[in-house]
Amino acid sequence: MTSTASAPDGATARPAVQLTSVTRRYGAGVTALDAVSLALPAGSFTAVMGPSGSGKSTLLQCAAGLDRPTSGSVRIDGTELTGLSERRLTLLRRAHIGFVFQSFNLLPSLTAAQNVALPLRLSGRRPSSARVREALARVGLADRAEHRPGELSGGQQQRVAVARALITRPRVLFGDEPTGALDSTAGREVLRLLREAVDTDGRTVVMVTHDPLAASYADRVLFLVDGRVHGELAGAGAERIAAHMAGLTAGARPDAKDSRGGLDARREALPC
Ligand SMILES: Nc1ncnc2c1ncn2[C@@H]1O[C@H](COP(=O)(O)OP(=O)(O)OP(=O)(O)O)[C@@H](O)[C@H]1O
């Protein structure tokens, strides 16, 4: 199944993320992704849901260039990832991709400011302290710049991770269960920041989640079952998303296409 959507403003644009017939096999027996095709417009927020083992993390890892598909094509903003050398792939990831993990992945010996500056330093750039301060202020942590991760709450650490992921102004921000280790208040704050990155800065966000409430922050939810895209919801609230998930895990196949009110016009399918 090819899953596509129009750009939020209705204009036809090059997708920020495009997978064409991506298959990822592990050994002979496991097909984690099975010929997945999708196109995510720039400036969109997509959530990926599905039962455990359905291939969500594999999809994210392949789309972000952290894993290589067995076959198929992955493009970020038009650049083909498959076939790039490790070095070119690393450079592309540093320049164009941000990643937020469930477990924050901050370096414990560095301050919040140093953690946020790290991606730019790894790219050989020397970030100005003003830019780092601004990134921390954006996530509400201007006064915590000199604190180390161990001195911050989980929610604060994840907000540092969001600032770190956004400081390079990436084309695409991938989140693998970014709220999975947080309480609901801290999780909402992180989701608000992701939403703001899309709405204010035009970033593209792709987030794996098990939580229907988290998924409801997205413009669109893609559902995976057995390594295949198995429908989507656009502009749906948490209840509707939860009902859809319940149908999937119960083996039912609810109507895949759904949308709500004013969002309809922005969800027209495009050729992939
Ligand atoms: N390195 C690996 N070696 C072998 N099989 C793997 C490997 N990584 C993932 N798999 C298998 O691929 C399938 C998809 O895994 P994946 O982690 O992408 O699923 P998921 O939907 O993210 O699951 P969960 O919600 O439980 O995190 C599973 O059957 C898993 O066991």
Sequence-distant (6+) residues with CB within 8 A of 226 are 34, 54, 55
Q: Which ligand 1 atom minimizes the distance to the CA of 55? A: 18
Residue 116 Cα, ligand 1 centroid: separation in angstroms?
30
Per-residue pLDDT at 202: 96
Q: Which ligand 1 atom minimizes the distance to the CA of 61? A: 18
Q: How far apart are CA 81 and CA 73, in angstroms?
A: 7
Is 244 in a helix, a strand, or coil? helix
- Domain covering 2-105+171-267, topology: Rossmann fold (3.40.50)
Residue from 36, 58, 174 to probe ligand 1 pocket by mutation (most atoms less than 8 Å from CB): 58
What angle (nearest 5°) sits at the alpha carbon of residue 174, between those of residues 170 and 179?
125
pLDDT at 56 over 50: yes
Q: Which ligand 1 atom minimizes the distance to the CA of 50? A: 21
Q: What is the DSSP string of 122-175?
A: HTT----HHHHHHHHHHTT-GGGTT--GGGS-HHHHHHHHHHHHHTT--SEEEE
Sequence-distant (6+) residues with CB within 8 A of 262 are none
- Residue 240 one-letter amino acid: R
Q: What are the residue boundaries of the structural domains of the chain, listed by start? A: 2-105+171-267
Tokens 């196109």: give the residue: 39
Q: How far apart are CA 211 and CA 204, in angstroms?
A: 20
Per-residue pLDDT at 162: 97
Residue 52 Cα, ligand 1 centroid: separation in angstroms?
8
As for ligand 1, residues whose beta carbon falls within 6 Å of it are: 26, 30, 32, 50, 52-58
Nearest CA to ligand 1 atom 24: 52
Residue 32 Cα, ligand 1 centroid: separation in angstroms?
6
Q: Please indicate whether residue 122 or residue 113 has the higher confidence score (pLDDT).
A: 113
Report the percentage of the chain scoring pLDDT > 90.
Answer: 81
Tokens 């403003």: give the residue: 9
> Do 17 and 172 meet the contact criterion of CB atoms below 8 Å apart?
yes
Helix (H) or strand (E) holding 233: strand 228-234
Nearest CA to ligand 1 atom 11: 32
**What are the tens digits of pLDDT across the range 138-190?**
999 999 999 999 999 999 999 999 999 999 999 999 999 999 999 999 999 99
140 CA to centre of own chain: 21
**What are the tens digits of pLDDT across the range 179-226?**
999 999 999 999 999 999 999 999 999 999 999 999 999 999 999 999
Task: State the CB neighbour count (10 A cutoff) for residue 149.
Answer: 20
Nearest CA to ligand 1 atom 7: 26
Q: Which of 122, 95, 96 is nearest to 107 (CA)?
A: 122
Buried b (16+ CB within 10 A) or exposed e, 231-267: bbbbbbeeebbbebbeebeeeeebeeebbeeeeeebb
Per-residue pLDDT at 150: 97
What is the ipTM score, two decimals?
0.98
Residue 57 Cα, ligand 1 centroid: separation in angstroms?
7
